[in-house]
Structure formats: C-alpha cells, structure tokens
Amino acid sequence: MNHPDPLPENDNLSLPGEQDRYKNEPDDITRIIKKMHFTTFLTAGLCILPFIVILCSLFIGRYEISPQTVMHILLSPIIPMEHTWSAAEETIILQIRLPRIIAAVMVGAALSMAGAAYQGLFKNPLVSPDILGVSWGAGFGAAIAILVTSNSGAVQICAFIGGITAVASTYFLSRLYKSEHILVLVLSGVIVGSFFQALVSITKYIADPYETLPTIVFWLMGSLSSVNYTDIISIAPAILFGGAILLLIRWRINLLSLGSDEAKALGINMKQITRIIIICATLLTAASVCISGIIGWVGLVVPHLSRMTTGPDYCRLLPMTIVIGASYLLIMDDIARTLISTEIPLGILTALIGAPFFAFLLWRRKTGWV
C-alpha cells in the first residue's frame, strides 16, 4: 500500500488550531451575558402593554364617557376632587367596566400560563389548558348547579369542583396503567374529557328548554359580562397561588420538554414536578373557567405568540404569556362588548378570531416547529 502522507501523530486526535479557540474567552462571555440582559430588558419593556390596553378599555363602551371623566372617576377615591360626573357614569366605570377588565386580565393571564406550562410538560406545542378535561368537568359542574339553583355563587363553586374532579380522575386513571409515559396522561385526559362532555349533554337534554337550557348553553359559550368584585376576590387566591408557583419553577419547565429520561438524568424529580404543574395549571384553569365559562383558544394561541416574541425559554416565556395573555383576552372582551349592539359570547369570539389567527401563525412558519 502506498500512503504518501501518513498521519504524523496517530494517538493525538486534536485538531490544529484547537488552542486558539480559547482566545478572547472572557470577552465572549461578557458579550453573551450582556446580550442576555439586553433581551430581558427589551421583553421587560413589553410589560407596559397590558396597562395601555387596560386604560384604553376603560374608555370604550356603549355608553360614551370622555377619557378625562374616566380618569377623574378612577382617581377620585385616591385624590379628593369635585364630583363633575353623574352617578351613572361612576357606576359604569367602577362597577361594570373595571371588574370586567380585571377579570379579563386575570383569566387571560391564567389560561395562557396554564397552556404554556402544559405545552412544556407534554412536550407538545398543540396542547391547551383543557387537555386533562378540566373544561368539561367544570362545564358539567356548572350545568348541574344551573339545573338545581339560580345562585351564581353556587354555579361557580360547582364549576370549580367539577373541573378539579375531572383532572383528579384523569390523573388517577393514568396511574392505573403503571406507566410513567406522559402520553398515558393525555389519553386519560381525552377519556375523562369525553365522559364529562357526555354528562354535560345529558344535563342539557333533561334541562328545561325555556329556562335552564339557555343558561347552560350561554355558560358553556363563555362570557365575562356578569363579573363582579366578589367573583374576582373569590378566584384571586387560586390564580395568584398557581401563577406564583409556576413562575417560581419556570426555568425547570424547560427541562421537562427534553423528555422524561433526560430530565431525570439532569436530576429532576419527574413525578414531583409533573404533579406540581398539573396542580397549578388546574387551579389556574378551573378558577378562570368558573367565572368566565369555557373560553377556548387563548391557552393555545397566546403561548405561541409569546414564543415568537421571547423564544422558547420559559424564563422569559412564562412572564411574557402573562403580558400577552392579559392583553389578548382583554382586547377580545372589548370586541365582544362593543362590536355589535348585543354582547357576543367571549368563547365564540376567541375561537372565531383565534382559529384563523393560529392558521396565520402556522402559515408564517414563525412558530419554530413547523
């Protein structure tokens, strides 16, 4: 055999120039860290977005009130000033628009966070917060309550209990299979969701078609039109608790999207973190659903929008879903209450706008996974 150029060093495989790579090392790292800080700073700037939307939302509505008056009414409890507005105007701003706006912000943020957390847990960007059956469970709870009572507080409590029950059934059903595979959880969610959907159908079937059936149907369509401060205060603890925990563990959610084995090899207690995420996301979703009814698409579209803004790292993604989710649902709710002379159910609107919008995102191929 003829080898004109035998390798000079066979036992040393290092490539030429390998040592040069370590030049400028500190500079590079400072540059990278600076760049990370800058990105965080930019995204933090977006936090003012919901506040702008909140302010604008206060100004719009079927009853016209000038922005100046709105500002006066808002500031009047804090700064003493002369009453230059009517009592009706004050009621509209403080008792109707403001609670509704707060509720939209909370529900939007909660559903979006839950959706983003589940997408990480299930390693699938097509997952929405009702993947484990929470919506239909809540729907069934609410439907039963509407059948027997007209008390809106009871409806909310039953919806909340129904949602939690559905997710608990899903979780324990998945444990029966003795498999740690995350797909089993999804499958159980589908089973439990369908079951509760059937139960909802039964309650609709036996409901009084003139009295209770329309109420059930409207509840299922989702709306924030009758929200008051009591509702907000009653769901706030669940949303704050679930949201705070998710925000605290947000970096760890990244690791789940690597898959169970790799996450374990990185020292993650999979069972524990899966449970924490399910509990938090369920609290967020069930609390939202019980005051707003079923509002689809928010938990699916908003995480995608956020991912396009910040990238997939949950460190920045999860705070961004709050910002975008709150603004998104608030804008939707503004449209729902002002577009035509009667109220459009919010759930219908989010689907009507959300689905084409999602299709648009896919078409732009900016989602990073198609």
Partner 1 sequence: MGITLSADNLAFRWDHTRDVFSQVSFTLHPGELFCILGPNGVGKSTLLRCLINLLDLHRGFVRIDGADIRKINRQVLSRKMAFVPQGYDVAFSYTILEYVLMGRAPYISAFSSPAEEDVKIAVNAIREAGVYHLIDKPITEVSGGEHQLALIARALAQQPEILLLDEPTSHLDFGNQMQVLSLIERLSDRGITIIMTSHFPDHAFIVSDQVGIMREGVLSTIGPANSVITSTTLQETYNVDVRVEYNEVAKRNVCIPLRYNKAGPNPVEPVLDMLLRDCSDPAYLYANCD
Positions touching partner 1 (CB under 8 A) are: 1, 3, 6-7, 10-11, 13-15, 21-22, 25, 28-29, 32-33, 36, 119-120, 123-125, 248-252, 254-255, 257-259, 261-262, 264-269, 307, 311-313, 315, 368-369
| DSSP assignments along 287-353, one per residue | HHHHHH----SHHHHHHHHHHHHH-S-HHHHHHHHHHHHHHHHHHHHHHHHHSSSSPPPHHHHHHHH
d(CA 135, CA 120): 20
Cβ 172 to partner 1, closest distance in Å? 23
Cβ 22 to partner 1, closest distance in Å? 7
The smaller minimum CB distance to partner 1, of residues 35 and 175, is found at 35
Cβ 32 to partner 1, closest distance in Å? 6
CB 173 within 8 A of CB 194: no
**Entry field: residues in the chain:** 370
The smaller minimum CB distance to partner 1, of residues 19 and 341, is found at 19
The smaller minimum CB distance to partner 1, of residues 127 and 332, is found at 127
The smaller minimum CB distance to partner 1, of residues 90 and 180, is found at 180
For 220, residues 6+ apart whose C-beta sits below 8 A from its C-beta are 139, 142, 143, 200, 293, 294, 347
The smaller minimum CB distance to partner 1, of residues 9 and 82, is found at 9
Cβ 368 to partner 1, closest distance in Å? 4
The smaller minimum CB distance to partner 1, of residues 237 and 259, is found at 259
Joined tokens for residue 89 = 């105007």
Number of neighbouring beta carbons within 10 Å of residue 36: 13
Cβ 35 to partner 1, closest distance in Å? 9
In whole angstroms, how far apart are CA 196 and each of 16, 140, 191, 192, 203? 65, 6, 9, 6, 11
Q: Which of 129, 105, 358, 146 is nearest to 232 (CA)?
A: 105
Cβ 46 to partner 1, closest distance in Å? 19
